Amino acid sequence: MTRAAKRAATARRILEAARVEFGEHGLEGTTVRAVAQRAGVDPSLVMQHYGSKDDLFALAIRLDRDSTDDDVAEHLADVLDVRLGALPPETRALVRSMLTAPEATRTMQQFLDERVRNLARTSDDGDAELRAALTVSSILGLTIARHFLNLEALADISPRQREEVLRPWLTTVLGAEAERPPGAS
């Protein structure tokens, strides 16, 4: 392995360790020493590769941008499946720190604003942006309630409940025609 390849592998290990640490402890609760220990490197290497804890945090919480599908309902069902599953470390770190770390706040705001704009573009409804913002905010609330507050009612959502409760709920918020579960008006 070349020196450059070893350096890149070390940087990846540090970043992955940082995602886990920030996900478990947030920005304030994570130390460079803890990241280094998890990555199996000296703390000076963390600083050498990333400059500062804040710079490392900014990289660790960077989210991938999904493209919006043509089928809005299917896309939203996919988003729900992802948010109801195990959260990636970078998402855990971002959500855990978004109310206390300005960098996380800005990153989350930019990400959610982008999601709202993409979703609003799928409709000609005059209230499309508001409906999209309500949908995106609801998914964020669901993510927090399930993964950070451990709300019992969200612990075990069955495939039937996803189809008959969650999907119609989302499409209704967007103003789309949705097949309602039996007994709903």
| Same-domain status, 129 and 162 | yes
Domain boundary among 60, 91, 106: 60
Residue 64 buriedness (CB in 10 A; 0-12 / 13-18 / 19+) = exposed
> Is 92 a residue whose pLDDT tops 70?
yes
What is the pLDDT confidence band of residue 66, given thresholds at 50, 70 and 90?
very low
Name the domain count of the chain: 2
Is 182 a domain residue?
A: no
Would you tell me the crossing angle of helices 43-50 and 3-29 to the nearest 10 degrees?
A: 100
What is the pLDDT confidence band of residue 119, given thresholds at 50, 70 and 90?
confident
| Same-domain status, 28 and 78 | no
Residue-level pLDDT at 71: 62
Whether the Cβ atoms of residue 92 and residue 24 lie closer than 8 Å to each other: yes
Q: What CATH number should be reported for the domain holding residue 28? A: 1.10.10.60
Is 138 a domain residue?
A: yes
> Is 179 a residue whose pLDDT tops 70?
no
pTM, entire model: 0.67
What is the pLDDT confidence band of residue 115, given thresholds at 50, 70 and 90?
confident
Rounded to 5°, the CA angle 17-20-22 comes to: 105
* Percent of the chain at pLDDT exceeding 90: 38
Q: Name the residue range of residue 37's domain.
A: 3-60
| Same-domain status, 45 and 9 | yes
Whether the Cβ atoms of residue 134 and residue 143 lie closer than 8 Å to each other: no
Stretch 159-184: mean pLDDT: 68
Is 157 a domain residue?
A: yes
Stretch 15-42: mean pLDDT: 91
Is 134 a domain residue?
A: yes
| Same-domain status, 80 and 163 | yes
| Same-domain status, 9 and 53 | yes
CA distance 170 to 121: 16
| Same-domain status, 114 and 141 | yes
CA distance 25 to 5: 30
Query: What average pLDDT is seen over the chain?
Result: 83
Domain boundary among 60, 84, 100: 60
Check residues 36 and 59 and name the one with the higher pLDDT.
36
